[in-house]
Amino acid sequence: MSGILSNPRKMKDTRTNRRFRSRFEEAGSLIFMIPILFNLLRLGQVSNLFLDPEKISLLLALGLITLFLYKPEYSEMNSRLKIIRDFAPLFYILVMYSNLPVLIQSLNPKDADHILLAMDQYLFGMQLSVALQEYMFEPLITFSTISYATYYFFPPVLAILIYAKGKYEIFRKLSAAMFLSFFIGYIGYIIAPAIGPR
């Protein structure tokens, strides 16, 4: 401590490191959110930023990330802010997903359905979505829909249970892993946007 106090440069470096200490989820979110915001501004949708709930959520997410990056000590000193910061990546994931079409339309506006159809045809010799239609019945569709929906609920529930048990290091690893899986998925959406066989 005395070494830092006697050396103003060390003290300044310590403040800088503390001030701009970011988490993987926050830095990753900015990679998507900043281009989305710039595209909205470029397209002249400034009014939507304050009227559309999806765009308002984008501004809120950017505000939270800015606060936590610039003043991380706030979340360290205040237990409620710490919980908000820990679980905010779940919010960022939803914000990015709902606003992703803005980025896709700018970077890769042509859908890749025809390529995916050709791949199905090459791999299976048929269109699976068409071939499987005769086997579809209501209970199976309902079961499939519920099974798919659990994809959105299980990770947050697991995260809450781990957090409640005080296993913070495991929680942080789970949070980063969840974010990375969505991050890769969103990159996939941008590279090959598709409507799918609805």
pLDDT in tens for each of the 198 residues of the chain? 444 444 545 444 444 444 446 789 999 999 999 999 998 888 887 777 788 888 899 999 999 999 898 887 777 778 888 999 999 999 999 999 999 988 888 888 888 888 888 998 999 998 888 888 888 888 988 998 899 888 888 889 999 999 999 999 999 999 999 999 999 999 998 998 888 766
Helix axes 24-42, 79-107, angle to 10 degrees: 50
Q: Which helix (H) or strand (E) holds 62?
A: helix 53-70
The structure tokens 């005769």 sit at 134
Distance from C-alpha of 87 to C-alpha of 92, rounded to nearest angstrom: 9
What is the reported pTM?
0.78
72, 21 contact by CB (below 8 A):
yes
Contacts of residue 23, Cβ cutoff 8 Å, sequence gap at least 6: 68, 89, 176
The structure tokens 């159809």 sit at 117
